[in-house]
Amino acid sequence: MHNTSNPEADGLQQQKPHQVLLLSPKNRKRKLQFTQAHQNWTIEDWKNVAWSDESRFLLWYSDGRVRIWCKEHESMDPTFLVSMVQAGGGGVMVWGIFSWHTLGPLVPIEHRLNATAYLSIVADHVLPFMTTVDHLLMATSSRIMHHVTKLKSS
């Protein structure tokens, strides 16, 4: 039983909860099938995989929880202050692809990345990238694995 008035006495500590992707049962099944199908792959097999993902980079602040430890009278000390700008300061979102052998393009994403925008990236950037390699499987980290195999014509 935990002592709610003093959780530290019970050996508890405050921490940020771990974040995990919310997966539908259908996507959970697909990821499991992909994992099982590729569990015996060698490093040489994995060298033929292209990985893609999108990332957001904030220019002026962190969107995570920032904590400091200081004494009450030190809270306005410049070493404990975090600079900020009005209206968030902006950021940039990019999409990229890479493999063991080569880097693909880093594509700025101007708007929200919906299905239409993603398919546009695939048409404009993935397909040309895939023609530069002999054989490649493409995988994404935030979506269910996409099996796109492209053999360069001789």
Mean pLDDT in order along the chain per 10 residues (154 residues):
62 72 86 90 88 84 72 82 74 89 90 83 85 66 44 40
In a domain, 31, yes or no: no
Tally of domains within the chain: 1
> Do the beta carbons of residue 30 and residue 145 sit within 8 Å?
yes
Question: How far apart, in whole angstroms, are the C-alpha atoms of residue 145 and residue 49?
Answer: 11
Q: Are strands 49-58 and 135-140 parallel, antiparallel or unpaired?
A: parallel
Total residue length of the chain: 154
DSSP 8-state assignment for residue 83:
-
pTM value is 0.61
Query: What pLDDT does residue 14 have?
Result: 72
Residue 143: closest CA among 110, 124, 118, 120: 118
Query: What pLDDT does residue 72 have?
Result: 77
Q: Which amino acid is at 121?
A: I
Phi, psi for 41 (deg, rounded to 5):
-65, 145
> Do the beta carbons of residue 122 and residue 95 sit within 8 Å?
no
CATH of the domain at 118: 3.30.420.10
In a domain, 6, yes or no: no
In a domain, 15, yes or no: no
> Do the beta carbons of residue 46 and residue 139 sit within 8 Å?
no
Query: What pLDDT does residue 36 have?
Result: 93
Report, in angstroms and rounded to the nearest whole number, the Rg of the chain calculated over CA atoms.
Answer: 22
In a domain, 13, yes or no: no
In a domain, 3, yes or no: no
Q: Which domain holds residue 145?
A: 42-57+66-154
